[in-house]
Amino acid sequence: MKTLAAKKTAAKARLMLIGGEFVPAADGALRDVIDPATGAVIARVPEASRADVRRAVDAARAAFDSGPWRSTTALERAKLLFKVADGIRAEAAALAELEVRNMGKPLAEAEYDVADAANCFEFYAGLATKVHGETMSVPANSLSFVVREPVGVAGQIIPWNYPLLMAAWKLAPALAAGCVCVLKPSELTPLTALELAHIIHAAGFPPGVVNIVTGPGAGAGQELAESPKVDKVAFTGGTVTGRKIAIAATGNLKKVTLELGGKNPNIVFADADFEAAVDGALFAAFANQGEVCSAGSRLLVDKRIHKALVEAMLKKVPRIKLGHGMTPGVKMGPLVSAAHRDKVEEYVRIGKAEGAKLLCGGRRPAGKEFAGGFFLEPTIFDGVSPAMRIAREEIFGPILSVIEFETEEEALRIANDTDYGLAAGVWTSSITRGLRAVRALRAGITWINTYHPTFNEMPWGGYKQSGNGRELGLYGIEAYLETKQVNVNLDEAPLAWY
């Protein structure tokens, strides 16, 4: 019997949204979309070329420069965004299942992501009418004020680990600000973005305001970054690709927002709530299969509780049930692709070669239910030194590196000894120690006695090579606004300069 998402997949053509129409790639090229839990093809989507992206950019450019969108009021934009939020909620079950089957995450996580995507559109719908300017103190013969205006055409490139949620993070603030968008989802996980295209179309956005194209980063994504008709590019993904996008964007000096990788420290002091820290360490490392830019992949543990904490984690790891995300009770799904699993497995070999002690995992699970998928067991290394590659390089998979420390100063020094600065966690019963540690940590997102909560109302982004700019909250809409000064001469007499 077909599930809800399967029925919708069969009934609805998988086409790109360009200029208000659902279209295939101009050359008819298609890409197979895989369920990473089974290896089976679940859909075929257009494979956009550079020409397709140029067509989408032209549609967006026309919509911004000469279409009705420029005269749409903030209130009208807000109403459209509220409709998108309602549309996501109406399709929540199907969207969550598609997210599971396309990306691999457990259903409970996908359901949370879908709900949060709707909340994100709703948050920015409310914020659309709250964009304010200011008046300035100037000489008496002039009235001067500041207005905020949309940047223009935004090229948006999102990753495969949170397909629908990342689309919401990009589209909602840009549309609230009055921008027009060309969104490119990952070629591995395009299905929920294409579903979102139908929801946006049904909401009534003018043609060309939202364009969603599917294709590889090397062609389609590069075209967005290079195009002189794009005013801003927003990217979430790996640091290496982020550098390439930043360089490509210099062609017309377009504005750039980059949310990149992390090698995030999760520090457990001896005075922490022990059980909470154990659960928090595992969740920080293995939620979403560890395929999270903010994953707590470096666990820094006070020497006094190191042995007990590691033993407690090892007792709980067997509770992390692996399997297809649609299977009840599953806590960890497959990695997104065979190629990505190969990359993560290489880090298991690197960790062993470096002398770290493999405590658990590092293998593909046995059993016929895992045979076709890209599964890897949750993996913990102990005896890790801060200089090891597994402690310095972003793995983006279910590998946790445990590092021992003796003093608070040493913990903070190790935590900050990284090229990245996205996220960090601190576990302690002392609020003064927690706040002192957070103040010292060079990271854009920090938690005390928790890990991973994300709020639409709060800024998201990192220090150092974890990117630049911020998404979400008031900062998210700021990234899509220009600042213009206006001066009105109140003195009607001629200047008489000449």
Considering only CA atoms, which of 237, 303, 292, 302 is closest in space to residue 263?
Answer: 292
d(CA 381, CA 401): 5
CB-CB contact of 397 with 376 (8 Å): yes
CB-CB contact of 163 with 193 (8 Å): yes
Work out the number of other CB atoms within 10 angstroms of the CB of residue 49. 19
Residue-wise burial string across 84-111, b where 16 or more C-beta atoms lie within 10 A, e elsewhere:
bbebbbebbebbbbbbbbbbbbbbebbb
C-alpha 201: how far from its chain's center?
23
293 has catalytic annotation: yes
Q: Which tokens belong to 417? A: 């000894």
CB-CB contact of 383 with 335 (8 Å): no
- In the chain, how long is the greatest CA-to-CA distance? 90
Distances (CA, A) of 203 to 84, 216, 415: 6, 28, 46
Q: Where are the alpha helices (DSSP H) in 66-91?
A: 74-90
Distances (CA, A) of 132 to 142, 232, 486: 20, 21, 14
Annotated catalytic residue, options 47, 91, 226, 259: 259
**Which residues are CB-neighbours of 378 under 8 A, at least 6 positions away?**
282, 285, 286, 290, 317, 320, 332, 360, 361, 398, 400
d(CA 46, CA 48): 6
Distances (CA, A) of 18 to 22, 212, 440: 6, 7, 47
d(CA 245, CA 257): 10
Distances (CA, A) of 186 to 61, 84, 103, 237, 291: 23, 21, 10, 10, 14
H or E segment and range at residue 313:
helix 306-316
d(CA 121, CA 118): 5
By annotation, the residues acting in catalysis are 259, 293
